[in-house]
Structure 1
Amino acid sequence: MKMYIIIMNNVPDKLVPVIAAHASLACYKKYENSEDMKKWMNGIFRKVVCTANTTEFENLKNENDFVLLTESALDNQEVALAFSPREEYPKKFKFLKMWTPQHI
């Protein structure tokens, strides 16, 4: 089981760790009573943080069981999606790029 956290690719690197942390917590709070979330919480907390362009991000909003986050420091722009943990995700998730800092 794993939780996918998708970050918009235009979010500054310095904000991503906090946004990902908020996304994980917001997703947990929304789905804390679901069987999949309970199973995930009692196992290994696998999380995958990926990045998406605008088209990919909008397309992922057609999926089920997620929370959408905005960022006040970026004029309340939509910045992340966090998907409730599950065993299997649609194939398109496998093609998302893993997030890595742009300036190391």
Structure 2
Amino acid sequence: MKMYILVKRDVPDKLVPVIAAHASLACFRKFEHNENMQKWINGIFKKVVCAVSEIEFINAQKEEDNIVLTESSLDNQEVCIAFVPREEYHKMFKFFKMWTPKDTL
């Protein structure tokens, strides 16, 4: 089981680690009594952070059991979606690219 965290590509790199951490916690808090969440939290809790386009972000919101996060330093724009961990995700998730910083040292 793994939790997917999708972050919009245009979010500044310096904010992504904190946003992803908040997303993981927010998702747990919202769905802590969900059966899949309980299996995940009591096992090996894998997370996958992906960078997505605006269209991918909108399409992913149609999937059930998710939470959308906003960022106050970006005028409360929606920046991230976290999904309740599950064994199988919709096929589109296989095509999302893992997040990596644009600017590396």
TM-score above 0.5: yes
Structure 1 alignment gaps of length 5 or more? none
Cα deviation, 1:23-61, whole Å, max 9, x if unaligned, reads 000000011001100100111010000011001000111
**3-state SS in 1 of match to 2:84:** strand
Equivalent pairs, count: 104
**CA separation in 1, counterparts of 2:54 and 2:14?**
20
Q: How many percent identity over aligned positions? A: 64
Partner of 2:49, secondary structure, is strand
Runs of 4+ aligned structure 1 residues displaced above 4 Å come to none
How much is the aligned-residue C-alpha RMSD, in angstroms? 0.4
- Which residue identity does 1:8 align to in structure 2? K
| TM score, norm. by length of structure 1 | 0.99
The normalised TM-score by structure 2 is: 0.98
Match of 2:59 in 1: 59
CA–CA separation in structure 1 for the residues paired with 2:58 and 2:34: 25
Counterparts of 1:71 and 1:32, CA distance in 2: 23
